[in-house]
Amino acid sequence: MASGIVSAERIDAVEIELQGTLDRGTTPVAAWDKAIADRLVKQGVLTRFQAREMLAGRRRFRLGQYTVLDEIGRGGMGQVFLAEHALMGRTVAVKVLPRSRSTPEYEAAFRREIRMLASLDHENLVRALDAGYDAKVYYLVTEFVPGFDLRRQVHRYGPLDAPAAGAVMTQAARGLAYAHDHGVVHRDVKPGNLLVTQDGRVKVLDLGLAGSEFDPETQQAGRVVGTMDYMAPEQIRAPESAGPAADVYALGCTLYFALAGQPPFPGGSRKEKAQRHLGEQPVPLPQLVPSVDPGIARLVEAMMRKDPADRIASAREVIDRLRPWTPATPVPMSRSPVTAGRAPGAEPDRGSSAERRAPALDLLGGRDRSGGRDNGSGPPPLPDAQPSRIVVRTRGRKRKTSGPDLTDGWPLWSVATVPLAAGGSVWILTLIVQVAARDWFGQSLGPIASPLLLGVGAGLLAALGQAVAGLLANSGR
């Protein structure tokens, strides 16, 4: 249990406390360690994430000056942790490039993301604060934004009305317009990449797939990157040519999702989604949401036109066109749950997976748990020392027995007829044999042969009766 965040003295003190309730000598090691971890969590020394990782064999929770507190999501270029600066006590988000992706290509892309974010500073973009290289991994430190991404917000609390959607999209468009002015195209605008706080403030995140219009290294011909539910036709055809207009199209798809609760083309494979983006029109918003303002529905159509030349030209024009539905201040987000799940047929949003609890990657040392036995739920259950027993039912009640009861589920009279029938059959068989012997040999079998034959016949028929009874009892269950 020893680690850089828990002293040996603290662990010794907890062990002394536990000895009053647990016997150290008879308690299994895994159960003892879990008891220590639970006590440290209760005392506020460890977070639940740290305790779970320590039980799995992980020992390091530091990256430079940052202590990892929890896992908050995974993006296209890495895993994101909640962390705290050791000296300043400031809570931040730390994005780490996993060792499994530490190839020259991914490392170069991660370094480009670090430099790109460092050059951008806007209230509607997640700000970069620090970066470094420690424990053989690159990491990027950004501001921590409390709240949900738009995908989770809509799935949990329902679609947005026009004012709330206008407020969210206007802020996102402001961040994108600033990035476009600096030559940066996001290329993966989607609900999962828009962080929304409860008071309605919006931050665009995950520029890991972003490309600079001035950097040829980010223009890789033929490589389709992004999420197909929100991808512009020109980005599908020629990924290297995607410009600001592709972000406008994706923002239009995102606005469609915010109002309707589903992407424009739900269902199907990635290939089928791509074909629909290239050649089909989505279901008009008024058919899905009869109460939607016709004006904002027409705006969505203008943002999603197939030809970039016919589409709204820029993010700044989107801001202007959204003014009729954009309040002067951000609109607080609803926190009244609705019964909703992932939109039907929507491509899983891999850019924001904080909802699902997955094993942490081996980023800071220790063993990789991604393929191990422990899945973060604590030590495996202790084996049952008692012999297994078969559970059967008797007239709706459960009971335990050491073996199957052949009479279970059948009336007593139906089973009792089996030996009676067997006895009658033996008596008839004896008469038949006696008659046959008199006809064949001209005399009876005598006093010895008859009982022997009677016994053999009775044994065979009794076995047959037992087998029949077993079949009847089993078929009755």
Give the residue numbers annotated as catalytic, written as ranges: 188
Compute, in degrees rounded to 10, the torsion defined by CA atoms 232, 234, 237, 241.
-120
Q: Which residues pair with 67 in a beta bridge?
A: 62, 84
Name 91's bridge partners. Answer: 84
Residue 45's nearest CA partner among 81, 2, 88, 87 is: 2
Q: Which helix (H) or strand (E) holds 439?
A: helix 412-441
CA distances, 333 to each of 17, 326, 337 (Å): 45, 14, 11
Measure Cα distances from 277 to 81, 235, 249, 404 in Å: 34, 10, 10, 61
CA–chain centroid gap for 310, Å, is 39
Name every residue whose Cβ is closer than 8 Å to that of residue 415 and which is 6 or more positions away in sequence.
406, 407, 469
Tell me the C-alpha distance between 326 and 418, whole Å: 85
For 440-471, give one letter per residue: b (16+ CB within 10 A) or e: eeeeebeeeeeeebeeebbeebeeebeeebee
- Residue 341 backbone phi and psi in degrees, to 5: -130, -165
CA 320 to centroid of chain Cα atoms: 38
The span from the CA of 29 to the CA of 43, in Å, is 21
Gap between the Cα atoms of 206 and 188, Å rounded: 8
Q: How far apart are CA 416 and CA 278, in angstroms?
A: 76
CA distance 189 to 207: 9
For residue 169, the one-letter residue type is M
Cβ contact 120:182 at 8 Å:
yes
Residue 214 CB coordination number (10 Å)? 10
Q: Please state, in angstroms and rounded to a whole number, the distance separating the CA atoms of residues 61 and 45.
A: 13
Sign of CA dihedral 227, 233, 238, 242: negative
Identify any residues that bridge with 81 across adjacent strands, giving them in sequence order: 71, 94
